[in-house]
Structure 1
Amino acid sequence: MTRQAAVALALPAGFRPGDILAFHRRDTQELAERVTGDTLCKGLLWDGIPACLNVRFADRMASADIVLDAEPACDLEPRFTTMVRRMLGLEQAVEAFEVRFRDDPAIGSLISEQKGLRVPVTTTPFEALSWAVTGQQISVAAAVSLRRRLIAAAGIRHTSGVFCYPDAARLAHFAEDDLRAAGFSTAKARTLLALARGVAGGELPLDAWAQSASVEEIRSGLLAVRGVGPWTVDYVLLRGFGWLDGSLHGDVAVRRGIQALLGTEGRVGEAEAKEWLARYAPWRALVAAHLWAGKAVAY
């Protein structure tokens, strides 16, 4: 038995579907995400059930549906609509940001060139968290390859043929050796397992946090896990929760983008980047996203 839900959402003027599609096009082998034209097909687990999400963009509308391989325990529609809106960044106040800083001498031209830019958000906060750990201190290409091996190791496939990104409950049953065999370092394997088991066991209730927790509650909960630092937390807050004010001054690509904007020869350090980004609160992470987009970095 399968179950399906669908939603159609009007998109604001200037919405950039290409940004959403590019984010999900990072893996050219298309194990868990397939992008064809203006359509995304993504495999995921919905309350542990293999599911296939489809999102199509046309005529300033996003039409999304999800097909589950079994009957879910709870009603699909409200949560599904919320998930799709979050994924597309429709709750992000980018218009207010653009009005506030369109004449800024440092980033005004960047905003003009990338008007309407929103941050694509993962289907679940755990996907962003596990991706952030996977990508720590390695290139995007290496992280995408490692992510692919993780998906393959989980081995969960929807009836459509697409593989599903594993959830915390599935990864919680991995052994450290399973992750090492998939290419993870010992440190990353231990961090990922600690996070997966914390989420699965309720100590790190990411989905509940997304509904009601303060940023500081999320931050303190995640920082208590060995191997999770400020960059990882700020990235997860952005990519998993859609929070636009994390100071991603520890990100190398962000610091290089700042260096290019300032036209300086020397490298921009973390302290300098933190001070520079502070003027753009409460949109510091959105500025980081503009810097990534300007350098075509698929973070």
Structure 2
Amino acid sequence: MEKCFSKLSIFFVICFFMGNIAVFGQTQEGEVLTATAKIYKTNSEKSAVVITLSRGDVVNILESKGDWYKVSFGKVSGWIKKNIIFVRKTESETKPEYETETHTQTQTQTPSYYYSSERLGIGIRGGLSIASLHGADAENLLGPLSLRFGYGVGLYYILKINNDLNFQPELIYMQKGACKGDSTYQFDYIELPLLLRIKIPPLGSINAHAHLGPSFAYNIKKQLITKDKQYYYTDMNKLDIGILLGLGLSFDLSIIQVDMDIRYNYGLLKIQNSDNPFDIKCHNLFLTIGLIY
């Protein structure tokens, strides 16, 4: 009797471990949701790209770590961002505990919007500044004005808040002002935009985003350049505050990410510093390209 009980006990222990091995040996599958998806050598977008997949390709999920899955695709293995993978339910997860011929439970996962991954970190930015002076007193005092074409250049940083939203502070040298005939009003600033980078549903493999936030500026040049003379202004505000709105596209070219943006900075403060300043404000349109490695 004791020998029989011992044999049964060993049999049940073996069955238990075999069952657990079978359960833990199951591998989840994931389906690529975006037009293209890169598998990286490590869980970093700065590492080498092992292979590029297409929408609908199915990978085996081997491991989960932060925002990344370690996956295999054929004989290739590597790391892929979680937000571009739809995890398929295994049979044991989707099958109900009790099922009859007349009542069947089903469980589906319906994704809403999916975004291809954007690079985070520091980048360089430069582009064309199309500036103007606005306000009730702008043309009354200065006469007919035209646009000043200049440039802006500086640094920016992308910091993740969540899958749909990033924070993007910048430090930019920006040329502003206006032109009048052969003369140029040169009002140049060091600007600090503090922007929310809001993701828009992607266009295939292209990421789209919107910008919104305040911009704080410090004046470093305030002069009027004519054909033969140069005049300096002493009664200008050092500080300016604006509201910045914009749209942009991002392209991941493996080595770098290219950001192409168009944005408008609406100046809120009058440029003159006096007890009763004239209503003249700086506005500008910025067409810019940024690079993140």
Shorter-chain TM band:
under 0.3
TM-score of the superposed pair, with normalisation by structure 1: 0.22
RCO higher in 1 or 2 (8 Å CA, sep ≥ 6)? 1
The answer to which structure has the higher helix fraction is 1
The answer to which structure has the higher strand fraction is 2
Larger Rg: 2
